[in-house]
Amino acid sequence: MSERATDKRWIVGVDLGGTNIVVGLLPIEGGEVLGLHSLPTDPVRGAKFVVDRICQMVERSIAEVLEQQGGTRADVAGVGIGSPGPLDRATGTVINTPNLGWRNFPLRDLISNAVHLPATLDNDANCAGYGEWWLGAGRGTRSLVGLTLGTGIGGGIVLDGQIYHGCSDAAGEIGHMTIEANGRKCKCGNYGCLEQYASGPAIAQRAVEGIEAGAASLLVELVNGKLEDITAATVYEATVQGDPYANEVMKDTAKFLGAGVASIINVLNPEMVVIAGGVTRAGEHLFEPLRAEVRRRAFKSAQECCRIVSAELPGTAGVVGAAAVFKRETYGHV
């Protein structure tokens, strides 16, 4: 790869999710995301619709930033795309995404050809971790593990300033580490995955199960008795309002998460674990018991060099990381 990063000023980052598409432009040397836009993915309208929408968003973000900042289209280096996986990075193909209903879909080249720019493709959770490493909580570290607690639990491993992909681009599935060998069945087919205890829906489910078993909680009031409306956000809200039961649920979340994070620390000995996702709004209600649980479980020599922190780029880590992947693959450095 030739060293010509200074010829260009911008990289487009695309964060494709099952619910939303987020697009923005990054200055090639790093900085604020500009021309940031988000639209629903609407996967039911078909793959062509989604690809067209992404391309329109890319064009719109480019036009907006060039108008604001001056310059020409020649200042745009290319497009980094983050997508749910599994995927084949070499061919830029999405192998299979249940959420979007795609199989062996050549996403990278469809976008690249439509917008007439080079493009790269990587896993969305990898991009989120890499974004935090480049411009977020992990700035200046060499290694980190990113965990995004949402509908599932996504993981991204950064080692020595590079995303760690494994031998078939499948590494980093931290949400599918087993923390209870005979535990809850996971939709991945495994039992007792971390995701079944600490993802958003898992937090809500544990809260509901406790209430159904007789626990008194402000949660019932917050959802007007409709327990099916309880979400991780409701649990967070009840926690900060001082509800002891919701606080227990949050502490249990921290314990399960702590078991997973301690395993990651014992195995990978990273400099940092970055936690992202709505549940981090609970702040120290989550992080204090989480750090305590990790102290209880992980090896001293490994935990002492590992900071466990909240993500700093909520909403844009995926865009930033996708752009960082493009930069790395094109210029050999970030």
Residues that bind a copy of itself (CB under 8 A): 86, 95, 142-143, 155, 157, 159, 164-174, 176-182, 188-192, 197, 255-256, 259-260, 262-264, 266-271, 296-299, 301-302, 304-306
What whole-number distance in Å separates Cα of residue 253 and Cα of residue 103?
34
Q: How far is the CB of 148 from a copy of itself (least distance, A)?
A: 15
Q: How far is the CB of 187 from a copy of itself (least distance, A)?
A: 12
Q: Between residues 100 and 179, which has the closer beta carbon with respect to a copy of itself?
A: 179
Length of the chain: 334
Q: How far is the CB of 217 from a copy of itself (least distance, A)?
A: 23
Q: Between residues 233 and 268, which has the closer beta carbon with respect to a copy of itself?
A: 268
Residue labelled with tokens 């970055």 = 274
Q: Between residues 216 and 305, which has the closer beta carbon with respect to a copy of itself?
A: 305
CA nearest neighbour of 204 among 242, 256, 250:
250
Q: Please, how many CA atoms are within 13 Å of residue 211, restricted to the half-sphere of its CB? A: 25
What whole-number distance in Å separates Cα of residue 22 and Cα of residue 4?
27
Cis peptide upstream of residue 84 (ω within 30 degrees of 0): no
What whole-number distance in Å separates Cα of residue 108 and Cα of residue 20?
18
Q: Please, how many CA atoms are within 13 Å of residue 308, restricted to the half-sphere of its CB? A: 27
Q: Which tokens go with 56? A: 């329109």
Q: Between residues 61 and 303, which has the closer beta carbon with respect to a copy of itself?
A: 303
Taking a C-beta distance cutoff of 8 angstroms, is the pair 208, 227 a contact? yes
Q: Between residues 39 and 268, which has the closer beta carbon with respect to a copy of itself?
A: 268
What whole-number distance in Å separates Cα of residue 145 and Cα of residue 308?
10
DSSP labels, 26-57 = EETT----EEEEEEE--GGG-HHHHHHHHHHH
Q: How far is the CB of 260 from a copy of itself (least distance, A)?
A: 8
| Burial letters 81-113, b for 16+ CB under 10 A, else e | bbbbbebbbeebbbbebeebebeebbbbebbbe
Q: Between residues 8 and 142, which has the closer beta carbon with respect to a copy of itself?
A: 142
Q: How far is the CB of 86 from a copy of itself (least distance, A)?
A: 4
Q: How far is the CB of 106 from a copy of itself (least distance, A)?
A: 17
Q: Between residues 39 and 302, which has the closer beta carbon with respect to a copy of itself?
A: 302
Q: Between residues 70 and 189, which has the closer beta carbon with respect to a copy of itself?
A: 189
Q: How far is the CB of 288 from a copy of itself (least distance, A)?
A: 19
What whole-number distance in Å separates Cα of residue 184 and Cα of residue 199?
13
Quote the radius of gyration of the chain (alpha carbons, Å). 20
Q: How far is the CB of 177 from a copy of itself (least distance, A)?
A: 4
